[in-house]
Structures are given as C-alpha cells and as structure tokens.
Amino acid sequence: MRSQWTHRDGWTVSVFAYPLRGDTTPQRMRAEYLAEVKEDGTKLLVQDSAIPAPFGGYRFIREAVDDEGERVEALDYFIEDDANADVHQLMMVVGRDELEEAEATLENLNRQRPLDRRQGTGAVGDGSLLVLPWESGWSEHRTDLLA
C-alpha cells in the first residue's frame, strides 16, 4: 500500500502502486482481477473504463460485506500511469446509500489543483499524476505503508 487518505465525510481511500514488469500490462492486470473476482464469487455491479479524464484505466464497483455483516459497495479505480510504467489502484468501501456521492468525489479528482508529491500532498506518482488535495476535503494520514 502506498498511502491512505480520509475524506471529511469519513470515507477512506487506500492507494496501491503496481509496477508493470516483464509482460505485465494494464490489460493483463484487468483480466487477472476479473478472474479473481469470478473465482471468489463476488458480484460486480459495474465494470468499465469510466475513469476521470485525463486519466486512463478501468473501474469496478462490487458488492462486499463489512465486519458487521452489512452489505457495502467497494469501488476499485485502476489508473494507468504510462510515464512511470505502473498502475495505481484507488480502493474505497462505502455504505450502499453513500455510493453515488462517494463516487462523485473520486470522479472530481481531475478538477483539483495538482500538488507536488515532494510536498507530501500527492497521492500517486512522482510529480503527482493524481492528487487528493487538502482543499478538496481529503487528508493523508498514512504514507508508504509497504514499500
């Protein structure tokens, strides 16, 4: 895990980075994710490439069950970072009634002012391919949990 961010509304986004090595491509990662979901019997509610411009990638929304046995929705956005030859996953779990608002919050990331990673405010990539800036309601609370 690269970092975790918390929104003022209480949602947490976990950010993971996956280097593309050898014959690994974003398309292969997507196929492996789908195979894993199918094997687990997870119900996918959405699977498409509706990633906020200017980013490319794919997203999934799936049903999940939280620690208290309640049904929740898990949002997985996979963002292709061609410049750094990797893929970044943003994962957020929200209540069923929060899905639309939480998803809109993630989709509005591209409208935020880019901030530099070296200032400790970027979420993804050196020079901030994607950011969760303070003024958008997000604050970083854990960084580089696993190298």
| Structural domain total, the chain | 1
DSSP label at residue 113: P
Q: What is the mean pLDDT of the chain?
A: 77
Domain of 96, CATH number, reads: 3.40.1000.10
Question: Can you tell me whether residue 76 is helix, strand or coil?
Answer: strand
Q: What is the pLDDT of residue 51?
A: 83
- Do the domain assignments include residue 105? yes
Residue 109 and residue 49: Cα distance in Å, rounded? 16
The whole-model pTM stands at 0.76
Domain residue limits at 29:
3-112
pLDDT in tens, 45-99: 999 998 877 778 999 999 988 889 999 999 999 988 877 788 989 899 999 999 9
Nearest Cα to Cα of residue 81 among 121, 126, 122:
126
Phi and psi at residue 36, in whole multiples of 5°? -65, -45
Nearest Cα to Cα of residue 25 among 80, 75, 77:
80
